[in-house]
Structures are given as structure tokens and as C-alpha cells.
Amino acid sequence: MFSLQTKKAVVTGGGSGIGQAIAVLLAKQGAEVHILELGEEQAADTHALIREAGGTAFVHVCNVAAQPDVLRVFEEIGAIHILVNNAGIAHVGKADTTTEEDFDRIMQVNVKGVYNCLYAGIPQLRKAGGGSIINMTSIASIVGIPDRFAYSTAKGAVRAMTLSVAKDYLADNIRCNCISPARVHTPFVDGFLAKNYPDNREEMFEKLSRTQPIGRMGRPDEVAALALYLCSDEASFVTGCDYPIDGGFTTLNN
């Protein structure tokens, strides 16, 4: 089960955290993985992990917010079977504390970046006879999260994109689903705590962990396992769905 032999996958933002875990697992299952990152150095660790395990991986320097860049890379890669739109950036702020510059930056990467990869990737999925698209959203697209105005807005847009794409490409054998994680322990979390809570990092880590009813943050490999299922032929009857992976956050926090 869950074999990806003969499949070609694109993972944006595959250099660290959830993107890295997904890229590594897809390669382990036999896929040829193409990692899109802003620089080769950002993808070096993922590339090395895959190659050391005997997998096949390629790194493409690409700014997902720049459509000419994205079109060039997808044309170089050619026909694909899997597209994971994982690249994204975070932001902390309310509606009246988010600057126009920050709002535009979030939209460029988290919304336009996904659109650009869909625009360039869907023709390549058609060439392969269809396949699977996964968009990484967030529980912030489902429930209210404090101080995440721009981020929530962007992830809500991606959730809507998922439904639209799933509907429009049924006849092309292209499935599209999204995954909505709660807090996942990634290098971003560690950096956020180090920057904002240098004197009580452990206390804040525990506090953030306890916001999930299950009592801890998720792990990148747990999200990757769900992504693998949605990429695989075992999920051939699944499209247009959003999968919260949140330790009970969206249903048990009451």
C-alpha cells in the first residue's frame, strides 16, 4: 500500500518542517521528488536526507510568488503526478495592527504562490493523465485564532481554492484536497519562541502544546503520513476535502 513508484512529485517549501517531512516520505515510498525553495541552501538538508536513503530528489530555486519563475521550473520538471503546495510564511497581527506591506507580503506568498503553482502545475498533471494536489492550509481557516488576521485570511483563500480546483478538474482525473494542521513542532516554532520568549521558552512551549486537547503539538511526520495517503492511489475516491490534523483543537476545545 501507498507505493509511489513511477510517480513524480513537486513539493514547494520542502526545505524544512512539514515540507521536508513530506518530501522525505514521498521519496521513501518511491516518488521522484522535486523540491522548490528560494535557495539551494534552504533545500540542502532535505536533498541530503533523501539521497542518503537511496531516494531520488532534485532542487529547484524558485520564488513561488513570481509566476515567470514558477512557469520556468514546472516546464523544466515536465509531467507530474503529485503537487504539494506547502510553501508559506506566517504573520502575527490583528486587522488594525497589520500593515499594508505585511498584508501584501502574506497574500503574495500564501495565496498567489499557491495560484501560481496551480496555474503551472495543472497542465503538467494533465500530461501525466491526472494526479493529486494537496494544499496546506491551517486550522486558522476553520476557527478564529487570535492575532492571525492576514494568515487566517490567506489560508481561508487556499481552502476555497481547493474546492474550486477539485470541482473544475474532475474530468481530468485530478484530485485536490487540503490539510489543516494545528500547531506542529517545527523549526519555525523554535525560532518564534527564541525571538519572542527568550527567558521562558520552555514555559511557553508547554503552554502552546496544551492548547491542543491531546496535550502536545503535532509532528511533521504525522502530517506527512496524511499527505502520503492523499497522494496515493488508495485515496483515489477522495477529492474536495479538508483534513484537520489538530489533536482535537477544532472539535474538542469547549
176 phi/psi in degrees, rounded to 5 = -140, 125
Give CA–CA dist 127/79, Å, rounded.
Answer: 5
CB hemisphere CA count around 196 (13 angstroms): 10
Give CA–CA dist 20/208, Å, rounded.
Answer: 22
Whether residue 151 lies in the annotated active site: yes
Give CA–CA dist 173/82, Å, rounded.
Answer: 12
Evaluate whether 28 touches 4 at the Cβ level (below 8 Å).
no
Give CA–CA dist 109/63, Å, rounded.
Answer: 9
The vertex-234 CA angle with 232 and 236, nearest 5°, equals: 85
Question: b/e map of 163-176 (b: 16 or more CB within 10 Å)?
Answer: bebbeebeeeebbb
Exactly one of 115, 151, 229, 243 is catalytic; which is it?
151
Residue type, 69: D
Task: Please identify every residue annotated as catalytic.
Answer: 151
